[in-house]
Amino acid sequence: MSNKFYTAAGMTLSVNGSNVANIKTWSIGDTKTTLTDVTNFGSQKLGTVIVKEQIPSMIEPGTFSGEAYYVPNDDGLSALRNAYSTTELSTFVLTFPPDTAGNVQTSTGDVISWTGYVTTDPVPSATSPSTPMTYKIDASMITILSITSGS
């Protein structure tokens, strides 16, 4: 059986329990590990050259960025604005519908969650008078992503 591709159609983003309407685009930035140099007098040598030793010392959880169509009375937009203006630590949850492409999920889709801070004021912008207004969603992550597989 060959796998079919899974799309994000029907996915939701919630911020502190409020769903953000009309998500247009989104992405999660890479989690990165910082390495600390622990090279010492006992470090391995390759000929006359000392081999640099490093150990993982810090993890940068990453970022979330997205764009949504502006709807003035959207509860999710209100939650984003409140989180930004109060610098409140927020809970973010991406919920996907079950995989209807015929793979393995039948009742629930994957859920990705984290905590972080809204880092950009979600104010609307327009590129022309005839296109819908949008706003940016930018958030830092202060926890590693929690990923729960659907069933």
Lowest mean pLDDT among 3-12, 55-64, 67-76: 3-12
The rounded distance, in Å, linking the Cα atoms of 59 and 33 is: 4
The 3-class secondary structure across 51-95, one letter per residue, is CCCEEEEEEECCEEEEEEECCCCCHHHHHHHHHHHHCCCEEEEEE
Tell me which CATH code domain 12-32+61-148 carries: 2.30.110.20
Read off the pLDDT of each residue in 10-38 and give the average, rounded to a whole number: 93
For the chain, the structural domain boundaries read 12-32+61-148
Sorting pLDDT into bands at 50, 70 and 90, what band is 121?
A: very high
> What are the Cα distances from residue 37, in Å, to 51, 52, 54, 106?
11, 7, 5, 48
> In this predicted structure, what is the pLDDT of residue 1?
45
What's the start-to-end Cα distance of the chain, in Å?
Answer: 19
Kindly tell me if the per-residue pLDDT of 96 is higher than 90. Answer: no
* Strand ranges across the sheet with 12-15: 18-20, 12-15, 90-95, 111-116, 146-148
3-state SS class at 146 = strand
What pTM, to 2 d.p., does this model score? 0.81
- Res 9 pLDDT > 80: no
Tokens of 14: 């919630």
Higher-scoring residue by pLDDT: 11, 68:
68
For residue 81, what are its two tokens? 């604005």
- 2 pLDDT band (50/70/90 cuts)? low
Residue 42 is encoded by which pair of tokens? 């006992």
Give CA–CA dist 12/106, Å, rounded. 18
